[in-house]
């Protein structure tokens, strides 16, 4: 039970009371107990079956009749060029790429778009990368931080131009990338039966309205408007759903039963509104996923808005179709800087799953796996789902996705936070597929503004610690490749501009 005053406070702060009380009841009754820490049996190998390497001379083979059957279910014929050896059909990168491009008409892509850039550009957080680092990035930080305050992160600059000016936003880059691919489909295969690469998103109460305003402006953006007119697809009009906020809970130190945390910042009957983790997307976006499937879309990408490396990959599309997997996920080999996020492991059953470091699996356990000679694959926060398989299990996934409870001690007080991670869905699927990708090409994430500045090449590497210098150089090379590649840009007079 909650007081009327607390209920009104929760409503004022945009908290979903029914959802919050449902989580609280589940925890107190034991029907939704906090998930225990993962016990990792080992690390999956890049075996060409459950985890495929997308680097180098890629080739994928399967029985001819099976390939024909799986493609026919999608209304596709096998490309004319694959190598047939007896009963086996073998696809090289070129054939996979062509097949995947044909699938743009049945593919949607989405972003998790609920985050504000305020914390991302927090000076204190950005000062924590080591001695001397903030001093090295200060010029870039002072230029970009004012452009981030209170804005949806996706609408803030994704890079700094070589001349020092702010670059375009994460969302403009993603929309341009998708439009160029949609245009390629139209030029190669003609008009699609539905908009190719339909865009969708999960927003939050704080970002939904500002994003709508930004998209209205994007419709006349010179990098997007001509492509929208030609491509038969308009990402500025996405399918959208708003993620609700949930209430913080009382800390474990107060014992059971738990209650709604009602002393935020020391004020009586004051709740604290929090996001419930991106894992809520399976519940929040359920209607969007069902609508996409009903409209004829069979596959849907979902990823973080702040990852410039996340784009629709035709090779991945072809591989999920040929393999018959329920879903596929990007992973790259873990580096010394990958201390926050998920890693791919084998659970006690020997099944693949993803565990968040420090939450589902300890850093010490991850270090022990590596000490045993196993190279760990780090989650790149990009998933590709077969909508037919996903929609059939949406309710089950939303109900069984592990709930993680973390104890917090911050300015608002001591409280507990309940979250679900999107990527632990890997452990709930019957046939998940992993892609081992190059981090510098597919995972250019920016959790802090400092990473955006370092990745832009705006800081001389000689001013950075050696381990950070190597990472900054790799990020900068990857960003340049992404901007000149799938984003269709070129450098002109010190600024990235649309290719003529």
Ordered domains of the chain (ranges, CATH): 48-116+151-330+382-447 (3.90.550.10)
Of 8, 3, 84, 50, the closest CA to residue 351 belongs to 50
Q: What is the pLDDT of residue 32?
A: 77
Average pLDDT over residues 327-355: 89
pLDDT band at residue 337 under the 50/70/90 scheme: low
Averaged over 260-273, what is the pLDDT? 95
Higher pLDDT, 5 or 465: 5
Spell out the residues 6+ positions from residue 142 whose beta carbon is closer than 8 angstroms to its own: none
Q: Looking at per-residue confidence, does 172 or 473 come out higher?
A: 172
Least reliable range by pLDDT among 136-145, 358-367, 484-493:
358-367
Is the backbone peptide bond immediately before 190 cis, with ω within 30 degrees of 0?
Answer: no
| pLDDT score for 499 | 94
pLDDT band at 334 (very low <50, low <70, confident <90, very high): confident
Q: Do residues 420 and 403 lie in contact, with contact meaning Cβ atoms separated by under 8 Å? A: yes
- Strand 51-53 with 432-436, pairing: parallel
Overall average pLDDT of the 235-261 stretch: 95
pLDDT at residue 219 above 80?
yes
How distant, in Å, are the alpha carbons of 171, 231, 300 from that of 196? 18, 8, 12
pTM: 0.93
**Rounded CA gap, 180 and 236, in Å?**
14
Residue 322, pLDDT above cutoff 70: yes
For residue 114, what pLDDT is reported? Answer: 85
Percent of the chain with pLDDT over 70: 100
| Token pair of 354 as six digits | 């993803």
Q: pLDDT digits over 55-113, tens only?
A: 888 999 999 999 999 999 999 988 777 778 788 899 999 999 999 999 999 999 999 99
CA dist 269 → 5, 17, 250 (Å): 6, 14, 13
The region, left, alpha or beta by phi > 0 then psi within -120 to 50, assigned to residue 111 is beta
Spatial contact of 343 and 379, defined as CB atoms under 8 Å apart? yes
Q: Which two tokens stand for residue 85?
A: 């050896």
Q: What pLDDT score does 336 carry?
A: 67
Over 80: is that where the pLDDT of 338 sits?
no
Return mean pLDDT, the chain.
92
Place of tokens 């909508």: 387
DSSP E strand boundaries for 400-455: 404-410, 413-419, 432-436
Distance from the first to the final alpha carbon of the chain: 63
As given in the structure block, the two tokens for residue 386 are: 């077969």
The whole-number pLDDT of residue 241 equals 97
Cα gap 482→441, rounded to integer Å? 7
Q: pLDDT digit string (tens) for 41-56? A: 889 999 999 999 998 8
Residue 163 has φ and ψ, to the nearest 5°, of -85, 5
What does the block give as tokens for 133?
């680092």
pLDDT at position 39, please?
Answer: 85
For residues 238 and 128, which has the higher predicted lDDT (pLDDT)? 238
Cβ neighbours of residue 29 under 8 Å, at least 6 residues apart? none
Most confident of 98-107, 353-362, 403-412, 441-450: 98-107
């Amino acid at each position: 039970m909650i007081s009327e005053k607390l209920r009104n406070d929760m409503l004022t702060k945009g908290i979903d009371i029914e959802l919050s009380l449902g989580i609280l009841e589940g925890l107190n009754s034991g029907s939704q107990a906090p998930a225990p820490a993962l016990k990792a049996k080992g690390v999956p190998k890049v075996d060409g079956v459950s985890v495929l390497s997308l680097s180098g001379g890629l080739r994928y083979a399967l029985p001819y009749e099976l390939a024909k059957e799986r493609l026919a279910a999608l209304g596709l014929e096998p490309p004319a060029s694959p190598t047939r050896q007896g009963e086996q059909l073998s696809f090289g990168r070129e054939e996979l790429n062509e097949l995947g491009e044909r699938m743009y008409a049945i593919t949607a892509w989405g972003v998790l778009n609920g985050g504000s850039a305020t914390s991302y550009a927090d000076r204190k957080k950005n000062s924590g990368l080591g001695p001397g680092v903030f001093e090295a990035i200060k010029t870039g930080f002072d230029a970009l931080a004012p452009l981030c305050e209170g804005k949806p992160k996706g609408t803030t600059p994704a890079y700094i131009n070589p001349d020092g000016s702010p670059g375009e936003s994460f969302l403009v880059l993603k929309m341009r990338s998708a439009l160029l691919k949609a245009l390629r489909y139209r030029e190669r295969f003609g008009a699609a039966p539905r908009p190719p690469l339909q865009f969708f998103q999960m927003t939050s109460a704080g970002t939904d309205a500002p994003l709508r305003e930004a998209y209205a402006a994007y419709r006349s953006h010179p990098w997007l408007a001509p492509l929208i007119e030609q491509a038969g697809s308009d990402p500025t009009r996405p399918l959208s759903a708003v993620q609700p906020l949930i209430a913080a809970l009382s800390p474990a130190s107060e014992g059971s039963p738990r209650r709604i945390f009602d002393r935020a910042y020391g004020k009586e009957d004051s709740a604290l509104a929090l996001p419930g983790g991106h894992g809520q997307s399976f519940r929040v976006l359920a209607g969007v996923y069902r609508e996409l499937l009903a409209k004829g879309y069979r596959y849907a990408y979902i990823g973080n808005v702040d990852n410039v490396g996340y784009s629709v990959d035709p090779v991945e599309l072809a591989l999920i179709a040929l393999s018959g997997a329920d879903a596929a996920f990007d992973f790259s080999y873990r580096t010394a800087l990958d201390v926050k996020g998920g890693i791919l492991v084998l659970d006690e059953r020997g099944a693949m799953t993803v565990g968040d470091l420090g939450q589902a699996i300890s850093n010490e356990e991850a270090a022990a796996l590596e000490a045993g000679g196993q190279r760990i694959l780090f989650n790149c926060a990009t998933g590709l789902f077969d909508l037919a398989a996903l929609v059939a299990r949406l309710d089950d996934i939303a109900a069984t996705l592990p709930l993680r409870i973390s104890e917090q001690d911050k300015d608002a007080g001591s409280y507990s936070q309940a979250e679900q991670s999107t990527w632990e869905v890997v452990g709930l699927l019957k046939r998940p597929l992993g892609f081992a990708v190059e981090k510098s090409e597919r995972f250019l994430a920016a959790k802090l503004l400092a990473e955006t500045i370092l990745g832009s090449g705006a800081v001389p590497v000689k001013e950075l610690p050696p381990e950070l210098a190597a990472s900054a150089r790799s990020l900068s090379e990857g960003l340049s490749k992404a901007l000149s590649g799938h984003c269709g840009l070129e450098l002109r007079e010190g600024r990235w501009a649309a290719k003529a």
